[in-house]
Amino acid sequence: MFRLASQSAEAVSAPPKRRRFGLSAKLLALTVGVVAVAEVSVLVPTIANYRTAWLSDRLAAARTAALVLDAAPQDRIPADLTHDLLESVGAKVIVVKKDDTRRLLAMSDMPPEADVHIDMRTGSLWSMVRGAADTLLAPNGRYLRLVGDPPPGGDFIEIVLSETPLRRAMLGFAATVLFTSLLVAVAAGVLVYLSLNWLFVRPMRRLTERMSAFRENPEDATRIIVPSGRSDEIGTAEEALEELQRGLSQTLHQKSHLAALGLAVSKINHDLRNLLASAQLLSDRLAGLPDPTVQRFAPKLIAALDRAVAYCEQTLSYGRAQEKLPDRRVVPLAHLFDEVRDTLGLGPGAAIAWKTGIQDDLVVDADPDQLFRVILNITRNSVQALESRAPNDPARDQLILTARRTPSGTEIEIADTGPGIPPARRAHLFEAFVSSARRGGTGLGLPIADELVRAHGGEIRLVERETGTAFRIVIPDQPGTHRHRSERLRA
């Protein structure tokens, strides 16, 4: 059992494994990928455009040579000049079509047969890209038949040339462009990476580190993140994280305090129950004395001690997941109010006036002990608030209890003429260890009252008043209570 608990604790406390690739590595990979895609998208059309320009230059040179050859008689053109013109064009054959006839202006000794036909007068971007890829992948020794716009007066000009020089030129151009683009891309990628790393990765790493440090010891206030003051989303995240960590740290401090308080209460409860048991034995002996005064007060003393012992037994039940269900019965409210008044010591002649406005036969369907605790906790808070402005005057300092029947249950209102509750405390009235305004108070009176009332299916709420404080308690009847009330009262 202990081994399983230890393994579970180790599994919970063990830090999570770091991922293989962090945010910086992913950002670098993303930058490289984007740059690579940009390079490809730029390099491919650039090479295609270079091929088109190279072929256009050959056609332009062919048109110039055609003008020279056309100006001289065919039989008077020296062979050396024809050879030089063909070399300058880089072609094997130059043909000009004019007036539905093809004129062979120049030709090498052994004109080759063209393998690929290219018409420069028409074409699209896709055909240019496809042609460039075809040239780069073509074997050596292939010849092109190139057709383009003719010199003035012709229909078109046609040349036959080797594709090898074009392919060689394209490879050299591609290498130059690729190298230059890589240099630019690397520089741009580094700048983008450093910028994004400084703007986003470093702040995110700082957030992660502060969260990890806070997780190791949430109660250490020095581990709470200090916002950098940024005005963007990361600054908002830092402020939200600071608020979350600060609230969690305070909650953990409060939980630790509650745990220590619970241990102390357990120890006090054990010894207090023994003392109360001894007091019960003495009260039982006093009840046997024939003195009329003793006989008048002994039952109340015994009832108070019995209730105190019951409280000690139920002290540690506050805050459990399952509270003891109320033992509901028909309770006369007038008698219950008298018990609360006697417990508070607000009899005739007290400095704080006790006033009730209920019918003598008014009853409530509730657990008498739990309802007694509810009313006692609220009235005790009222008495303490009235005593804070001593000396007290019964004409000014009053505690007023009223009750009435409703179609579904009973409403009890407890009001005082004290200083009232400050607005800042009203939102935390029913939170344990928070609502107490009296120095030395525990802040458990109203939370306990609220929990006991909710166990009856009712509610307790603050009533807005111009002066003083008033609480309204609603206790609904159980199903069938109206039908059987008369029988239960007779019993």
Which residue ranges in the chain fall short of pLDDT 70?
1-24, 69-85, 100-111, 153, 263-264, 266-267, 269-271, 273-275, 277-278, 280-282, 285, 294, 309-323, 432-443, 480-491
Nearest residue to 157 (alpha-carbon basis) of 94, 206, 107, 202: 94
Residue 431's pLDDT is: 78
CATH number of domain containing 443: 3.30.565.10
**Does one domain contain both 267 and 347?**
no
End-to-end CA distance of the chain: give it in Å, rounded: 54
Name 412's bridge partners: 403, 473
How far apart are the C-alpha atoms of 244 and 469, rounded to whole Å? 34
Residue 470's pLDDT is: 93
Residue 489's pLDDT is: 44
**Does one domain contain both 145 and 163?**
yes
Residue 297's pLDDT is: 72
**Does one domain contain both 272 and 343?**
no
Residue 130's pLDDT is: 85
Domain boundary among 317, 346, 378: 317
- Asked, for residue 11, whether it belongs to a domain, the answer is no
**Does one domain contain both 337 and 436?**
yes
**Does one domain contain both 305 and 335?**
no
Residue 400's pLDDT is: 93
**Does one domain contain both 174 and 229?**
no
* Cα 288 from chain centre: 69
Give the predicted TM-score (pTM) of the model. 0.45
Residue 337's pLDDT is: 93
- Asked, for residue 201, whether it belongs to a domain, the answer is no
Residue 313's pLDDT is: 60
What residues make up the domain containing 428? 326-490
Residue 354's pLDDT is: 92
**Does one domain contain both 53 and 172?**
yes
**Does one domain contain both 229 and 369?**
no
In degrees, to the nearest 5, what angle opens at C-alpha 230 toward C-alphas 227 and 236?
70
Residue 301's pLDDT is: 76
Residue 112's pLDDT is: 75
**Number of domains composing the chain:** 3
**Does one domain contain both 303 and 346?**
no
**Does one domain contain both 345 and 449?**
yes
- Asked, for residue 195, whether it belongs to a domain, the answer is no
- Asked, for residue 5, whether it belongs to a domain, the answer is no
- Asked, for residue 213, whether it belongs to a domain, the answer is no
